[in-house]
Chain A
Amino acid sequence: MIEVKDMHKTYFMGKIKVPALRGVTFGVQDGEFLAIMGPSGSGKSTLMHLMGCLDYPTEGEYWIDGREISSISDDRLAEIRNQKIGFVFQQFNLLSRTTILQNVEVPLIYRGVNLRRRRQLAKEALEKVGLGHRLTHKPNEISGGQKQRVAIARALVNNPAIILADEPTGNLDSKTGQEILEIFTDLNSQGHTIVLVTHEKEIAEYARRVIELRDGRILKDEVVV
């Protein structure tokens, strides 16, 4: 379903080239729970942005659902992000001025779903993460763990093919972090594909496959038993 072929990403800071990825190749099947590990600066976030169609690779190919993204337009990429990808970020990235329910509705708005259906789907997604009772709160009125649940609900709401989570527990205490990871495990057992970026070994243990990056290259790619 996802094919990464000899993918490179080089950032340009003025004249200085910063190679963040230098030839990465792997595939992800439907229903996998994959962790991407590696030290700081090894290119994890860069890889996640590319897998999430937020950016184009400098070199190489990225295939998602049988399409290579290098040649498709910005707006088509937005459509792919909207329909096939759900993001969960370390900083939660909720819209602070709108309620929790409205936050979860955003992907549905861009998909053109009407208001009634939107409300319903957003409520269902929030119920899935155990927040069916706090719909009208603003993000600053709930805890970090709850924020991350809202973010997961938002990632889920369009029923995407893959959920990408970049250090989703990085801003949470270990107990709350565990609860979040349980949610991912649950979602995975329901058939969602999950890619989890982390630099902690214990967290990677929730996954069933671990890819380890070092300096923009794959060091290890192994299935956990």
Chain B
Amino acid sequence: MILETLRIALRSMTSNKLRTFLSMLGIIIGVAAVIAIVSIGTGARGEVTSQIANLGSNTININPGIQRGEGGRISRPYTDIFTLELGENILNYSPAVKALVPVGQGSALLISGSTNIRATVVGTGPDYQAINDYYPELGRFLQHEDLQQNSNVVILGSEVADDLFGSGDPLGRKVRLSYGNRTHIFTVFGVMEEKSMGLGGNFNAQVYIPITTYMQKVANTRYVDSYTAQAGSSEEAKIAVGQIEYFLTKSLDGSDKFRLTSQDQIIEVIDQVTNTLNIMLGGIAGISLLVGGIGIMNIMLVSVTERTREIGIRKALGAKRRHIMRQFLIEALSLGGIGGVIGIFFGRLGAVGIARFGGWAPVVSVVSVLLALGFALLVGLFFGIYPAYKASRLDPVKALSYE
């Protein structure tokens, strides 16, 4: 009986394929949108979270604040405020901060033999490793003695090591580092592991020297560019932000002289963005499903009118209301279901395309497919009820004489 009804439904749908397809278009778009959204949402989120994890965990970046441009002056970051002592004081006066490293950086030319490349020189300290979850693959990283003695020790990022020495062993080799108009000789003591590129930039294209050497010999400054602090957990990171803020506001005499960026904040912002995006796309999906439903209702009403006589004949031959109702409901459900399947196909296609574009693995979960199909069927059912009810209530005599 059900099978029979399904056959009738399919036959009536295939009798006018273009019309059937057009009336399913809304459902197709809606379902494709649902599939694509869920896939893009999970894919993008996964990508972003892995990038954030790449930054090291529970870190807080402390950067100079932006000076307001007044009276024609261009706004630019404050300079000459972050000293090494200030960094130590932040660590000492903010109990929730577990570790802190100063960072000074600039662009330099590195020369070895006849090869030279431009790289970012990062002056920092030993804790840089743990904070960024970034360790040497060969040799060692910077040590406290290097900082105390202002040694000319350099640790190379993996790309830099490759570019300068190729397959040769860089350890113990001399590198000339040209910064501004002065050149220094450094000895390579280590090569860092490869770190995948994330929100923190490309670590592999940097070289690392003691912050003291950087300040006193290379850049000739008494100030560092920024600090990176780390807390023990994400809860402590929140507390640490408050403590650093309090301490710096007092010691720098103003809260506009520095900026704090914690991972939590980044995650929050990204969450907000993805949420907004999801709400938007969800809205599109919802609206197209609604429009799709109305499309189904419309085509079903047309179908009921066109088949008034058939309904009359079936009633004369003994069809009860529920038989007629069932026939048209199954037809509406089939419209929703087939539209849903086509939509899933296009949604997958979209998800795969966008995933390729965004550089993450396409995830089309079973749950999202079932969800979308469920929605499509539900929409078909819901918007099929009224036409089916109308059909089931037709007066047999009038239906039979319908021209």
Contact = CB atoms under 8 A, between A and B. Distances in A.
Nearest to A46: B397
A158 B316 CA distance: 13
A81 B317 contact: yes
Given A95-B310, A95-B313, A97-B11, A75 B321 contact: yes
Contacts of A154: 317
Interface of A: 49, 52, 54-55, 74-75, 78-79, 81-83, 87, 89, 93-95, 97-98, 106-107, 109-112, 154, 158
Interface string B317-355: 111111100000000000000000000000000000000
Given A109-B1, A112-B1, A78 B319 contact: yes
Given A55-B397, A93-B400, A97-B11, A109 B4 contact: yes
Given A93-B309, A110-B323, A52 B316 contact: yes
B391 to A, nearest CB: 14
A173 to B, nearest CB: 23
B320 A75 contact: yes
Contact of B316 (A81, A94, A109): A81
A154 B319 CA distance: 14
B400 A81 contact: no
Interface string B294-309: 0000000000000001
B314 A106 contact: yes
B315 A78 contact: yes
Contact of A93 (B313, B319, B321): B313
Interface residues of B, number: 24
Nearest to A89: B400
Given A97-B15, A109-B1, A82 B317 contact: yes
Interface of B: 1, 4, 8, 11-12, 15, 309-310, 312-323, 395-397, 400
Contacts of A78: 315, 318-321
B11 A110 contact: no
Contacts of A87: 316-317
A66 to B, nearest CB: 20
A101 to B, nearest CB: 13
A78 B396 CA distance: 10
A52 B400 CA distance: 13
Given A55-B396, A93-B309, 20 more contacts: A52-B316, A54-B315, A54-B316, A54-B396, A74-B321, A75-B320, A75-B321, A78-B315, A78-B318, A78-B321, A83-B318, A93-B316, A95-B310, A97-B11, A97-B12, A98-B8, A107-B318, A109-B4, A111-B318, A112-B1
For B8, B15, B313, the residue with the greatest tally of chain A CB atoms inside 10 Å of its CB is B313
Nearest to B312: A93
In the A-B complex, the 5 residue pairs with the smallest Cβ-Cβ separation, listed nearest first, are A82-B318, A110-B318, A75-B320, A78-B320, A54-B396
Contacts, number: 63
Contacts of B8: 98
A82 B314 CA distance: 10
A79 B397 CA distance: 16
Contacts of A107: 317-318
For B12, B309, B310, B320, the residue with the greatest tally of chain A CB atoms inside 10 Å of its CB is B320
Contacts of A110: 314, 317-320, 323
A113 to B, nearest CB: 10
Contacts of A94: 313
A52 B322 CA distance: 20
A83 B318 CA distance: 8
Contact of A49 (B11, B314, B397): B397
Contacts of A93: 309, 312-313, 316, 400
For A49, A87, A110, A111, the residue with the greatest tally of chain B CB atoms inside 10 Å of its CB is A110
Contacts of B396: 54-55
A97 B312 CA distance: 15
A54 B399 CA distance: 11
A79 B320 contact: yes
Contacts of A49: 397
Contacts of B313: 93-95, 106
30 contacts: A49-B397, A54-B315, A54-B316, A54-B397, A54-B400, A55-B395, A55-B397, A74-B320, A75-B321, A75-B322, A78-B318, A78-B319, A78-B321, A79-B318, A79-B320, A81-B315, A81-B316, A89-B400, A97-B11, A97-B12, A97-B15, A106-B313, A106-B317, A107-B317, A109-B1, A110-B314, A110-B318, A111-B318, A112-B1, A158-B318
A52 to B, nearest CB: 7
A50 B295 CA distance: 38
Contacts of A112: 1
Nearest to A97: B11
Contacts of A74: 320-321
A45 to B, nearest CB: 9
A15 B397 CA distance: 20
A95 B313 CA distance: 8
Contacts of B316: 52, 54, 81, 87, 93
B20 to A, nearest CB: 14
For A54, A55, A75, A94, the residue with the greatest tally of chain B CB atoms inside 10 Å of its CB is A54
Contacts of B310: 95
Nearest to A158: B318
A107 B4 CA distance: 13
Contacts of B319: 78, 110
B398 to A, nearest CB: 9
Contacts of B400: 54, 89, 93
Contacts of A75: 320-322
